[in-house]
Amino acid sequence: MKIGNFDTEKKVFIIAELSANHAGDINIAKETIKKAKEVGADAIKLQTFTADEHTLDCNKNDFIIKGGTLWDNKKLFDLYNEVHTPWEWHEKLFSYAKKIGIQIFSAPVSKKSVNFLEQFNPSAYKIASFEITDYELIRYTASKQKPIIISTGIATINEIQDAVDICKKEGNKNIILLKCTSSYPAALEEANIKTIPNMKETFGVEIGFSDHTLGVTAPIVAVSLGARVIEKHFILDKNLPSADKDFSLNPTEFAQMVKAVRDTEKLLGKVDYSMNEKKKKNRQFSRSLYVVKDIKKGEKFTNENVKSIRPGFGLHPKYLPEILGKKANCDIARGERMKWEYL
């Protein structure tokens, strides 16, 4: 799939998630974008919302975070107000990213934020896991006819199918579903990355992986199972005051992940049974049939005087049963390659 000038059929698309890791400072945001480019990310992803687009400024129990998260006992409104990327930054961030040659796009949460983002001509749109049940948002975003990347962390299989169908009904078939575990951080045993090839088969669209586990192992496994997009939170320095720092990679870690993903791509290669020149050359170290004892004319070939040994310049070992019991038509010295003309 083409995302801007990037082709996911040729390489895995690696997204650095900025999220709240700008720490409320546009200069940190720009430096993060620059560093993401330097360590090998193909794109930087923002989140475009205001707190009141997400929730109510309300003190009722429903609006207080709980359940063993990093943000327990905080009001939803206060969290979103703290972590949002100010809208007045977007023009500068989009312009800067395009200037240095890294793709940039965002995750809107409403028609308003989609309309706002359209002016910057993003290369794609992202639907976050917690917005996958907002079918009208998906429909409206898909209608913009840009690649749409949808995280599936909290969705049922029916809701995932609904999201795909909504996009296709809008005439947008450029759909990427991200396998995702919506825990922050996510335990390895909750990742269930085996789901990736099943998602490809079930929904018939491109599949990627949005990773909230610690470390870089999960993206490697995901790519090996067919993920063509990897998304991971990225932070300049884990000492920054950010709500997402505990499950983000710093530049050194992100660079390690990028290298591991690229190495995995090389290792996967393609289905290939051809005999290239290197394989042909290395066949000299395979086994073949050699005369291992001097043989006189008229003497029979036996397991004692003909064996399958290295190197591979003699007859193929599969012919040994045909040769045994036949008589030599000339004297043959030890160490000679076995040939049909000796029979």
Tens-digit pLDDT profile for residues 53-75: 878 889 889 888 887 777 688 88
Q: Is residue 247 over pLDDT 90?
A: no
Confidence class for position 52, pLDDT limits 50, 70, 90: confident
Please indicate whether residue 172 or residue 243 has the higher confidence score (pLDDT).
172
Give the pLDDT mean for 278-282.
88
Neighbours of 263 (CB within 10 A): 12
Task: Give 14-36 as a DSSP string.
Answer: EEEE-TTTTTT-HHHHHHHHHHH
Please indicate whether residue 212 or residue 82 has the higher confidence score (pLDDT).
212
pLDDT for the residue 62: 86
CB 28 within 8 A of CB 240: yes
Of 151, 216, 226, whose CA–CA distance to 194 is shortest? 226
The single-letter DSSP state of residue 247 is G
Angstrom distance (rounded) from CA 130 to CA 39: 29
Angstrom distance (rounded) from CA 240 to CA 251: 13
pLDDT for the residue 75: 83
Confidence class for position 121, pLDDT limits 50, 70, 90: very high
- Output the CA–CA distances (angstroms, integers) from residue 238 to 10, 31, 36, 246, 328, in the order listed: 33, 14, 15, 7, 78
pLDDT (tens digit, 9 = 90+) per residue, 171-200?
999 999 999 987 888 899 999 999 999 999
Angstrom distance (rounded) from CA 336 to CA 324: 16
Global pTM value: 0.88
pLDDT for the residue 240: 94
pLDDT for the residue 170: 98
Q: Number of C-alpha atoms within 13 angstroms, CB side, residue 225? A: 23
Average of per-residue pLDDT values in the chain: 94
pLDDT (tens digit, 9 = 90+) per residue, 103-117?
999 999 999 999 999
- Output the CA–CA distances (angstroms, integers) from residue 342 to 195, 315, 328, 332, in the order listed: 59, 12, 6, 8
pLDDT for the residue 157: 97
Percent of all residues in the chain with a pLDDT value above 70, rounded to a whole number: 99
Give the pLDDT mean for 27-42.
98
Helix and strand numbers, DSSP H then E, in the chain: 12, 12
- Output the CA–CA distances (angstroms, integers) from residue 8 to 147, 168, 209, 302, 316, in the order listed: 12, 20, 13, 58, 43
Please indicate whether residue 143 or residue 284 has the higher confidence score (pLDDT).
143
pLDDT for the residue 66: 85
Angstrom distance (rounded) from CA 302 to CA 323: 8
Percent of all residues in the chain with a pLDDT value above 90, rounded to a whole number: 81
Set out the domains of the chain in order of their start, with CATH numbers. Answer: 2-49+84-268 (3.20.20.70), 277-342 (3.90.1210.10)
Structure tokens at 228: 């063509």
Q: Is residue 334 over pLDDT 80?
A: yes
Phi first, then psi: what are they for 5, rounded to 5°? -95, 15
Collect all residues with Cβ–Cβ distance below 8 Å to 56 and sequence separation of at least 6: 63, 77
